[in-house]
Amino acid sequence: MVQKVGIIGAGQMGNGIAHVFALAGYDVVMSDISQENLDQAMETIRTNIARQTAKGRVSEEDAAAALARIKPVIGLDGFSEVDLAIEAATENEEIKKKIFQDLCPKLKPEALLATNTSSISITRLASTTDRPEKFIGLHFMNPVPVMKLVELIRGIATSDETYKTAKEVVKSLGKTTASSEDFPAFIVNRILLPMINEAIYTLYEGVGSVEAIDKAMRLGANHPMGPLQLADFIGLDTCLSIMQVLYEGLADSKYRPCPLLVKYVEAGWVGQKVGRGFYDYRGEKPVPTR
């Protein structure tokens, strides 16, 4: 029975996951390495819950109760009591493994462990823990409070009981699961990221401008946002790391990251979060950067 949830990482994904669990009535411990990150995360959660309240989706009482259920902590204090720990740190295998090494000794033996990785092997991550049978991939979509889907990924050792519990927990959040086998980038990113990479190749080869490519996919394929705008929203560094996982994991040249994507990441122009990517966000409205 899962009642208390611990989340490691208070970034874009971590604070969104904390938000939906708290609204669904779970007690949440949200951990990060700095107080500044935690303060920023709580501010984001407050803003997002206020937006839901303004739209009439959440009552004022439920909003206040949800915020009161989230306990921000530096490090891993309070994780000895959690029934489920979810790692939502940056998309870097070494960082994730280090978190699991520090976290496992603090968890109670029956606690379940999940990762929000969008591309890294669940089996491989599970093998670095003391509980591979209680380990599962829970890949939430961004922005977490809005998106309905959670990919459920079993590692080779994940038990039926862990899988069943995880599925029930996701359902209790009002979200829907899609089960994926443990292959590089799972389902959503296996299909989405090569499309974004292809859009960047289309720009790189001069087939169309940033504006033309995004307009074409919005109006010609009915996508809510163009692929280059979406890349900026996801973060070009994240896009590149997922493409590298696909390229290395499947050894197929069709997954080769576009050199222009590499160039933007090297420049530090990684999208909305830094004010520049395929668009420049520093003015009144986004302007294409090429």
Q: Would you name the residues annotated as active-site residues? A: 118, 139, 151, 189
Radius of gyration of the chain (CA): 19
How many residues in total does the chain contain?
A: 290
Token pair of 277 as six digits:
């990517």
Q: Which amino acid is at 93?
A: E
Q: Which residue has the tokens 């209790």?
A: 172
Q: DSSP readout, 157-170?
A: T--HHHHHHHHHHH
- Residue 67, SS3 per DSSP: helix
User: Which positions ≥6 away from 208 have C-beta within 8 Å?
Assistant: 202, 216
- Residue 141, SS3 per DSSP: coil
Nearest to 84 by CA among 153, 145, 35, 18: 18
Token pair of 17 as six digits:
């996951």
Burial code (b: 16+ CB inside 10 Å, e: under 16) for 251-262 equals eeeebebbebbe
CA 250 → CA 41, 200, 271, distances in Å?
35, 20, 27
∠ CA 89-95-96, nearest 5°, is 60
User: Which positions ≥6 away from 271 have C-beta within 8 Å?
Assistant: 231, 232, 233, 234, 235, 236, 237, 277, 278
Q: Which amino acid is at 139?
A: H
